Amino acid sequence: MGIEWLKPAIFFGSILYALIGVLVFWICFLIVDKLTPYDLWGEIIEKKNLALAVVVGSMCLGIAMIVSAAIHA
């Protein structure tokens, strides 16, 4: 492993892909939040719904894996 990743084109390309990945993840989370019949954030934070937190966490991991695979390919 050399210092090839320090080249400006590679470095800024990595930053750009990371930002695109976070943006796509955030949009997907908002879509899922709008599709559910209740407020996910309110249920998890205010009502301490642990089961819903596990489901949302699993969904977040799934979306993150899909986005990272799409960007990596």
Residue 13 counted as domain residue: no
Q: What is the mean pLDDT of residues 59-66?
A: 86
- Residue 38 backbone zone (phi > 0: left; psi -120 to 50: alpha; other: beta): beta
Q: What's residue 21's pLDDT? A: 82
Which residue intervals of the chain are DSSP H helices? 8-35, 40-41, 50-72
Contact in structure between 40 and 56 (CB atoms under 8 Å): yes
Q: What is the pLDDT of residue 2?
A: 66
pLDDT score for 28: 84
Give the pLDDT confidence score for residue 5 in this predicted structure. 62
What phi-psi label fits residue 48: left (phi over 0), alpha (psi between -120 and 50 degrees) or beta? left
- The pLDDT score that the predictor gives to residue 9 is 82
What is the rounded average pLDDT of the residues 50-67? 88
Domain count, the chain: 1
4: in domain: no
Residue 15 lies in a domain: no
Structure tokens at 18: 């990371």
Residue 36 domain-assigned? Answer: yes
16-29 confidence digits (pLDDT tens): 888 888 888 889 88
Q: Is residue 34 one of the residues assigned to a domain?
A: yes
Domain assignment present for residue 60? The answer is yes
Q: What is the residue range of 38's domain?
A: 21-72
* Residue 2 resides in a domain: no
